[in-house]
Amino acid sequence: MNEQIHNPAQQKSAEKLLVVSPAPHIHSGDSISKNMLGVIIALIPAYLVALYFFGLGALIVSITAVISCMLFEYLIQRFLFRSKSVTIGDGSAILTGLLLSFNLPSNLPVWMVVLGALVAIGIGKMSFGGLGNNPFNPALVGRVFLLISFPVQMTSWPRPIPMNMQYLDAETGPTVLAMIKNHFGQLPETTDMLIGNMGGSLGEVSAIALLIGLAYMLIRKIITWHIPVSILFTVFAFTGILYLVNPETYASPLVHLLTGGLLLGAIFMATDYVTSPMSKVGMIIYGIGIGIITVVIRVFGAYPEGVSFAILIMNAFTPLINAYIKPKRFGEKIKK
C-alpha cells in the first residue's frame, strides 16, 4: 500500500527524485565549432612551413580551397536544400578547405582547386546530408577525384624554395616516394624531411610541424592516440620487416614515416570524428587496416602514395567495425 504524501514540500521533493533524463547527463563543454577550431589551430605550424617553402602558391591554393568550400556549402544548404539554418559558421567547411589544400600541390590551377572543393563539399559531404552523415572524409574525396581526373597536374610537385613568389611557373620535381618507387634520384637528408625541405603537397612536407599539431590535439583531448599511433606503428613494423629482408630494394621505415602524406593522414584525416570508429579497440583495428593498405599500395601498387586510398577504404569499414566492436554496457545481463 502506497503512503500518500500530504506535505507539498515532500511531494515536490519526491517528484524530483522520479525525474529521469536521457544520457549524457554531464556536458563536457565541447562543441563542433570548438573542436573544429582546435584542429585548425593544430594545422597552423604545418601551414606556416608550407607558406615558407611554397610561398605564393601555398597562399593561393589554401585561400581558394577554404573560400570555395564555404561558398559551396552555403549555396547548397541555402538554395538546393532550402534550409534556413546554414552551418558554415561551425568551422567544418573551413577545416575541409584547409585539409583539401594540404593534400594539393602548390602550383595547382585555381579552377582545379575550386572543382576539388565542389566535389569535397557537394559529393563528399552534402550529398549524404551534411556534417555527421558523410561516410567518407570529404577532403580526401576531393583529393582522390582530382588525382584520378588530373594525374599530371596532381603529381607535378614544385621544389621547395623559401618565400617563393612564383605560382604556376615554379620548378617541379619528384617526391621522395616517387624516387623510391622508380629507383632514381638521391633521397633528401633526414633533417630536410623533418623540417619540410622536400617536394610534396602543402601539408605533408614537415614532419616536425605535423607532430607539433598532434601533441597539441592530444593535450587538448581533441583526439586520442589510438588511431595515429596504430597507423604509424603498423607502417613502421611492416616496412621494417621489408627493409630487413632486402634493404637494397625497400626503403627504411623512417623514410616511410617522414615522407608522403602518412603523418598528415594519420593525424588529421583518419581521426575525423564522423568517419572513424567510436570504440578504442575499433580505432586500433581501423588504424592497423590503414597502415597495412598504405604500405601495400606504396610498395606493390601503381601509386607511390596510398594513404588517401587507405583511409577512404577503411572509412567504408567503419560502420562494420562499430557494429561488431562495441564498448561494454553497464548493467547488461550476461548470458551464460
Helix spans in 150-279 (H): 151-154, 176-182, 190-195, 207-219, 226-245, 253-258, 262-264
**Is pLDDT of 14 > 90?**
no
| Percent of the chain whose pLDDT exceeds 70 | 83
Q: What is the pLDDT of residues 204-253, one digit of tens each?
A: 878 999 999 999 999 999 999 999 999 999 999 999 999 999 988 898 99
pLDDT value, residue 205:
79
pLDDT digit string, tens, across residues 175-206? 788 777 777 667 778 888 888 888 788 888 78
pLDDT of residue 6: 52
Q: What pLDDT is recorded for position 294?
A: 96
- E strand or H helix that includes residue 284: helix 280-300
Considering only residues 169 and 134, tell me which one the structure prediction assigns the higher pLDDT.
Answer: 134
> Considering the entire predicted model, what is its pTM?
0.86
* Cell 582530382 -> residue: 146
The segment with the largest mean pLDDT, out of 16-20, 29-33, 102-106, is 102-106
Distance CA 225, CA 300 (A): 28
Model confidence band, residue 23 (pLDDT cutoffs 50, 70, 90): very low
User: What's residue 5's pLDDT?
Assistant: 47
Angle of CA points 19, 25, 29, to nearest 5°: 140
* Mean pLDDT of the region 244-272: 92
C-alpha cell at 21: 533524463
In angstroms, the CA 236 to CA 257 distance is: 7
Instruction: Name the pLDDT band for 334 (thresholds 50, 70, 90).
Output: low
Domain range 32-168+176-324, CATH architecture: Orthogonal Bundle (1.10)
Asked if residue 116 has pLDDT above 50, the reply is yes
Is residue 126's pLDDT more than 80?
yes
Q: What's residue 249's pLDDT?
A: 86
Calculate ∠ Cα 313-323-319, nearest 5°. 30
**Mean pLDDT value across residues 65-74:** 96
Nearest to 114 by CA among 156, 79, 72: 72
Q: Is residue 135 exposed (0-12), middle (13-18) or buried (19+ Cβ within 10 Å)?
A: middle
> Quick one: the chain helix, strand, coil %, rounded to 5?
60, 0, 40
Q: Is 72 left (phi over 0), alpha (psi -120 to 50) or beta?
A: alpha
Looking at residue 237, what is its pLDDT? 96
CA distance 237 to 171: 35
Residue 157 is inside which H or E element, if any? strand 157-158
Task: Return the amino acid letter for 300.
Answer: F
Q: Is the pLDDT of residue 166 over 70?
A: no
pLDDT at 110: 95
